[in-house]
Structure 1
Amino acid sequence: MHSFKTTLLSAFLLLCSSTHVHAGALDTSSHCGDYDSVTAGQYVLGLDQWGKSDASSGSSCAAITSFDGTTIAWKNPWKWAGGYNVKSYTNIQLNNGLNKPLQTISSIPTTWKWSQSTSGSVVADVAFDLFTSATPGGSNHNEIMIWLANFSSGPISYSYSASGNAVAFANSIPLAGYTWNLYVGTNGYNNVYSFLPSNGTIITKFGGDLNVFIKYLTGSGSISSSEYLTTLQAGTEATSGTATFRTSAYSVVIN
């Protein structure tokens, strides 16, 4: 479900069909275009509605609500019906400190406080999404997802149970103050490593170092430490239902 979230595709679609606003005075207006983006300092709010064609109806809009230094806040009301695939990944992307070899990154301190109000049941997740490449700015080789919430959705996996649930590659991994189950698979374009909180925990206030997840994968030999970190995003993947996702404070820095 992540095969279209690539830097090259997003760049192409942005050039072709989006509204790209560079925030001098902060743009807090609502944007609803399929690939609209708004720049605020080192961040870009992106409406990545790559799976919209799978929906029978629906929409997703987003707006930055505040920005101060390295801390940004945004809201994302969305409503999707029909289909079984992710429709949108509205996210904040970091544009500073990227294209460094993983082995040279000392830390990625992060805070993320969010909430989600829903109308009925929803299928969605809340996750960080990182990509690595063999070269700076190159094509995606590995995708690292760190889920903070799983609302009846599911990660990509090589192994599934008889009931259709993804089977974890490793369980109860202690990282960043929580325990995680790791799922490993492919989206047809790149490897996908998904960390999900054990026991279905929902983490609405995350504070920790994202680099510990990278170090776990490089330490186990899953990803080469010579790869480059090319993308770092945080947002919600929406599949179906009606919800309003709100982030009250988000900050991330690559050291």
Structure 2
Amino acid sequence: MLNIPPGQWDSVETDEYILYINQWGKDNADSGEACGALTSESGDSVGWTTNWTWSGGEGVKSYTNINAKNNLNLQLSAISSIKSSWSFTQETSGSPLTVNVAYDLFTSSTSAGTNEYEIMIWLDNIGAGPISYTYSAEGNPTPVAEGLDLEGKTWDLYFGSNGANEVYSFLTSDGSSVTNFSGDINSFFTYLTSEQTLDAAQYLTTAQGGTEATEGTGTLTSSEFSIVIA
């Protein structure tokens, strides 16, 4: 097991991946921290875990995540597949409790350039909401597309801006969790480049998955995680 101390930006890496603590919103919390560890490694797959607890303040406090290291900075049009498997459990407690588990991918108009688009695929969600340009009268984000059948699940798509990037967020239409994902993430990109505004000439700069923790306490245990870009 390779443990990471709870420094704000600490990391540990293998030949294939980097595990980041990424406590980017830590200073906005009244108290708390996140930590993590790599627990196993076999071929293209790793096991990892993170513990987090946050109290008070606004916004996401940490995004402990695994980043793929290989075959990045390819144009989307040149990528044939992004095969991924992710099996996890997440135990949580506390009230209020806000957290999601998601893939988070970024693209740029130049190789290794400044990120312009963020693509999120939410596999689990407790109390969080996606970024959106439009909201209902009740204040809920409204999707730009609904009932999308991709990789064995049905998704709704939301679109908005975080101030730095245009953000596409896929959430399951029925609100269910996907704790055992196995499929081709490239299917989501193919949809976005054919049906939405994402340009296939964009370069994939980052491919990662992790848990966005805002408030409460939790332990995410990923028994298997892999992202292979080809």
| Superposed pair shares fold, TM > 0.5 | yes
Instruction: Give distance in 1, aligned partners of 2:20 and 2:4.
Output: 12
Instruction: Give distance in 2, aligned partners of 1:53 and 1:95.
Output: 28
**Aligned partners of 2:54 and 2:214 also within 8 Å:** yes
2:168 equivalent to 1:204 = no
2:2 equivalent to 1:28 = yes
> What does residue 128 of structure 2 align with?
153
2:151 equivalent to 1:176 = yes
Letter in 1 for 2:15: G
> What does residue 217 of structure 2 align with?
242
2:70 equivalent to 1:96 = yes
Instruction: Give distance in 1, aligned partners of 2:58 and 2:137.
Output: 19
Q: CA deviation at 1:54?
A: 1.2
Instruction: Give distance in 2, aligned partners of 1:223 and 1:216.
Output: 9
> What does residue 113 of structure 1 align with?
87
> What does residue 16 of structure 1 align with?
none
Q: CA deviation at 1:221?
A: 4.2
Instruction: Give distance in 2, aligned partners of 1:71 and 1:161.
Output: 41
**Aligned partners of 2:4 and 2:10 also within 8 Å:** no
Q: CA deviation at 1:120?
A: 3.1
Instruction: Give distance in 1, aligned partners of 2:179 and 2:90.
Output: 9
Q: CA deviation at 1:161?
A: 1.7
Instruction: Give distance in 2, aligned partners of 1:221 and 1:45.
Output: 31
Instruction: Give distance in 1, aligned partners of 2:139 and 2:55.
Output: 22
Question: More strand per residue: 1 or 2?
Answer: 2
Instruction: Give distance in 2, aligned partners of 1:33 and 1:124.
Output: 20
Q: CA deviation at 1:150?
A: 1.2
**Aligned partners of 2:2 and 2:12 also within 8 Å:** no
Q: TM-score, with normalisation over the residues of structure 1?
A: 0.88
Letter in 1 for 2:3: S
Cα deviation 1:209-228 (Å, max 9, x = unaligned): 00000000001141111110
Which secondary structure state, in structure 2, belongs to the residue aligned with residue 213 of structure 1? Answer: helix
- The 5 Å alignment of 1:1-12 reads none
Which secondary structure state, in structure 2, belongs to the residue aligned with residue 253 of structure 1? Answer: strand
Letter in 2 for 1:211: N
Letter in 2 for 1:239: T
Instruction: Give distance in 2, aligned partners of 1:120 and 1:54.
Output: 18
Give the alignment's Cα RMSD to 1 decimal.
1.0
Q: TM-score, with normalisation over the residues of structure 2?
A: 0.97
Cα deviation 1:218-243 (Å, max 9, x = unaligned): 01141111110000010000000011
Which secondary structure state, in structure 2, belongs to the residue aligned with residue 120 of structure 1? Answer: strand
What percentage of aligned pairs have identical amino acids? 50
Which secondary structure state, in structure 2, belongs to the residue aligned with residue 164 of structure 1? Answer: coil
Cα deviation 1:92-125 (Å, max 9, x = unaligned): 0001010001001001111000001112342000
Q: CA deviation at 1:144?
A: 0.3
Q: Which of 36, 40, 56 does residue 66 from structure 1 map onto? A: 40
Instruction: Give distance in 2, aligned partners of 1:94 and 1:56.
Output: 32
Q: Which of 77, 83, 102 does residue 57 from structure 2 map onto? A: 83
Cα deviation 1:23-55 (Å, max 9, x = unaligned): xxxx52242111000011110000111111111
Q: Which of 193, 196, 221 does residue 218 from structure 1 map onto? A: 193
Instruction: Give distance in 2, aligned partners of 1:221 and 1:183.
Output: 11
Unaligned runs of 5+ in 2: none
> What does residue 42 of structure 1 align with?
16
Unaligned runs of 5+ in 1: 1-26
Question: More helix per residue: 1 or 2?
Answer: 1
